[in-house]
Structure 1
């Protein structure tokens, strides 16, 4: 009986591990900043619809997770022969929204305030972040978008899969869900890789992101 119980526990843990690995979003390939792609004179220009575009985010800690969105302030994207060639986007860090806590609850305002202060994104000092496209390539049947992400005076190049569709004068870009290591952009609060003796009070370094961009000519 004891042997059977141990076997069941082992299988349960193994199954949990498999599903945890499967569900974890892949980390974006991250490297040093690269040269930004130039806009060609013959390229088609699209302007971001900031009302319809958003970046979904999710953060993790032992006790659970928090998630929400953040908006763009402005942005443009260029295409040629239906393919992305260049673009840049300004992210409005003052638009952090928390969606897992009801807006009317005090905890919602507290979390938004904490994410906005110097512990995390220091929005007063760094009101915007920037993403500038450096290149696009096709690999293993996917479109991989690369760009320099600048946040809190740190710039790294990130690469992640996207799907791009055009219809009439409209362009839609949707990324796969991916993660970035926040400590590479000087967001260090509660990080086990930076601070010792945090126990179970740490916050995961990985932030999960999913980009939705809608733009028009």
Structure 2
């Protein structure tokens, strides 16, 4: 009798102990639930460029980040929010002061960004997914909400993101359809007879964002 009773008692003891062991393991939170760390944007180290094209050529320039943060989990960028100072908008390709001033003034007007009424634009990351096999070295697809002139639209674009030695970074180029933000001036989509005065609906934003702990 004892020959069978002792092994059975031992097995029962082990089974009884198993839930407690499982409970201990459950207390360790999975990596995906670990709180993200906040890294502060460094405006003096970050850059934001723009380029707009038209039938007869193109213009380019810069803007400055006002503030922002990048959310980091482990060694990966997982989120972030960025504020752009629209009053910092500059034109780089026109060297003549008068021509430069006219274009800056036009871009500031209601025909384009209505900067007097909308001093900032924002971008909030909603998701970042891995990207493989990109010829330009991008490793992520960034999706988020872009707000220009008080209008918010969701956009996605490839980027190179990473975290190293306490520095988080994101570099890439985003393509933006300006007409979705009520910027229709010179658009062939709305003014078919505009001819060679047409301005392309899409403009490019090239960025290099640096954030630190």
TM-score if structure 1 supplies the norm length? 0.76
| 1:57 is the counterpart of 2:54 | no
Greater relative contact order (CA < 8 Å, ≥ 6 in sequence): 1
Matches of 2:43 and 2:144, distance apart in 1: 19
| 1:96 is the counterpart of 2:93 | no
The alpha carbon displacement at 1:153 in A equals 2.1
- Aligned mate of 1:46, from 39, 47, 54: 39
The alpha carbon displacement at 1:46 in A equals 0.7
Specify which structure has the higher proportion of helix: 2
Residue 181 of structure 2 corresponds to: 185
Q: Within 5 A, what are the aligned runs for 1:20-169? A: 42-102=35-95, 105-141=97-133, 142-169=139-166
The alpha carbon displacement at 1:97 in A equals 1.1
Matches of 1:172 and 1:86, distance apart in 2: 11
Matches of 1:140 and 1:42, distance apart in 2: 26
Residue 26 of structure 1 corresponds to: none
Q: Which blocks of at least 5 consecutive residues in structure 2 are unaligned? A: 1-32, 134-138
The alpha carbon displacement at 1:41 in A equals 7.2
Matches of 2:208 and 2:78, distance apart in 1: 18
Residue 199 of structure 1 corresponds to: 195
Q: Deviations over 1:97-131 (max 9, x none)?
A: 111012x6211111111111111000001111110
Residue 5 of structure 1 corresponds to: none
Q: Deviations over 1:163-200 (max 9, x none)?
A: 1233322222111x342111011111110101232121
Moved over 6 A (4+): none
Query: Contact conserved, 2:70 with 2:168, CA < 8 A, in 1?
Result: no
TM-score if structure 2 supplies the norm length? 0.78
The alpha carbon displacement at 1:73 in A equals 0.9
Q: 1:85 to 1:110 in 2, by over 3 A?
A: same
- RMSD between aligned alpha carbons? 1.6
Q: Which blocks of at least 5 consecutive residues in structure 1 are unaligned? A: 1-39
Matches of 1:150 and 1:173, distance apart in 2: 19
Matches of 1:150 and 1:69, distance apart in 2: 18
Matches of 1:75 and 1:94, distance apart in 2: 17
Q: How many pairs are equivalent?
A: 176
